[in-house]
């Protein structure tokens, strides 16, 4: 298994304004997280959110075919869900 040290081989270098630096450093202190970890985790979290909110996806031909096969397969209804909906609602 690769350690974090083994997988972190890229460096980010960028400039920020003094007030931005102070804000992020204060937040990292408040959360008792190292500055580097705080910035990295915040950036990765935001990147995941941005990508999850995409409304357009482009697929190559094999992936498009696989995606369509998944959409066209019959729906599967788990037994637990079937049982749940067969009971009377607590609101009725």
Write down the pLDDT at residue 1.
45
Structural domain spans, the chain:
13-53
Residue ranges in the chain modelled with pLDDT below 70: 1-6
HSE, CB side, 13 Å, CA atoms: give it for residue 49.
Answer: 6
Write down the pLDDT at residue 86.
87
Burial class (CB in 10 A: 0-12, 13-18, 19+), 33: middle
Write down the pLDDT at residue 64.
94
Write down the pLDDT at residue 39.
96
Residue 17 — left, alpha, or beta (φ > 0 → left; ψ -120 to 50 → alpha)?
Answer: beta
Q: What is the pTM of this model?
A: 0.56
Write down the pLDDT at residue 71.
93
């Amino acid at each position: 298994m690769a350690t974090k040290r083994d997988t972190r081989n890229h460096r980010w270098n960028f400039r920020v304004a003094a007030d931005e630096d102070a804000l992020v450093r204060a937040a990292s202190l408040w959360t008792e997280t190292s500055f580097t970890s705080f910035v990295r985790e915040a950036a990765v979290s935001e990147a995941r959110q941005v990508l999850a909110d995409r409304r357009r996806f482009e697929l190559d031909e094999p992936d498009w075919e696989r995606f369509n096969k998944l959409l066209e397969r019959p729906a599967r209804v788990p037994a637990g869900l079937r049982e749940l909906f067969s009971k009377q609602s607590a609101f009725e």
